[in-house]
Amino acid sequence: MKNMKPEAGGFFQRVRQWHPPAFAPGYKSTVMRAPQKAPIAFPQTPSEITGPVFGREMLGELDNDLTVNYAKSGESAIGPRIIVYGRILDENTRPVPNVLVEFWQANAGGRYRHKKDGYLAPLDPNFGGCGRAITDEDGNYWFRTIQPGAYPWPNGINDWRPAHIHFSVFGHGFVQRLITQMYFEGDPMIWQCPIVRTIPDTEAIEGLIAALDMDSTVPMDARAYKFDIVLRGRRSTMFENKLEGN
């Protein structure tokens, strides 16, 4: 046991102006989904914080390579190949190890492999669109995939979602889950998206945009994008399922 003073951080008050309102008429789904009463916070129960836990033995060999984890032998997904990497951090920018990170996305044409996706873009027979990874002792994660395409959605007459990848970050148990989306640097459609426009702070939106990192590319193979996720604090990453606080 080390004879050291325990590390303590300050209390990070949540900044409400940083987060989108639950009711945002421009994003039509919120009209019916927005709560009518003030939110109430409940502490987690023992069953929620004691299990099950995640370990690397649960991962498949190709879980973090979406270019081949659904493909036929010798084939791969169609589209611009990219590597997405980053760190999971707490409010004091300390790494969070052994976090299960799941990710899912549309294919290069902007279509999901889902029976209710009615977009006319074709499905890629070699792309399933989902994967997972567990952070290492320094909070690092990474995965290989193809850059997803934009797609239309029935929010307005001509609304489109910019290219994005969904992330699900788990704590020690399945009920400790945060969900967010990652966008791509330089995409002009980000600023036209009705969902993104519900976020009142430009800096908060920029925290959802992955930076192109040409120094981490694989020559003649894949570009790289860096996307860190901050779990808590004044400048936490935007989490769409935890507007009341994470």
| CA separation for the pair 151, 40 (Å, rounded) | 36
Catalytic residue among 161, 183, 225, 232: 161
Inter-CA distances, 241 with 7, 14, 176, 238, 246, Å? 30, 15, 11, 9, 9
Quote the DSSP letter at residue 192.
G
Q: Rounded CA gap, 48 and 69, in Å?
A: 31
Cross-strand pairs, 134: 100
Structure tokens at 214: 């040409």
Q: With contact defined as beta carbons under 8 Å apart, do 88 and 99 qualify?
A: yes
Q: Is 112 a known active-site residue?
A: yes
Provide CB contacts within 8 A for 122, sequence distance 6+.
109, 111
Task: Give me the phi and psi of 180, to 5 degrees please.
Answer: -150, 180
Q: Pick the catalytic residue from 27, 70, 85, 112.
A: 112
Among residues 14, 113, 166, 177, which one is catalytic? 166
Reference 229, options 218, 216, 242, 219; nearest CA is 242
| Contact in structure between 184 and 4 (CB atoms under 8 Å) | no
**Choosing from 164, 183, 225, 232, which is the catalytic residue?**
164
Known catalytic residue at 151:
yes
Residue 30, classed as helix, strand or coil, is: helix
Active site residue 166: yes
Residue 134: closest CA among 164, 102, 104: 102
Is 27 designated active site?
Answer: no
Choose, from 27, 141, 151, 183, the residue flagged as catalytic. Answer: 151
* Amino acid at position 84, single letter: V
So which residues are the catalytic ones?
112, 151, 161, 164, 166
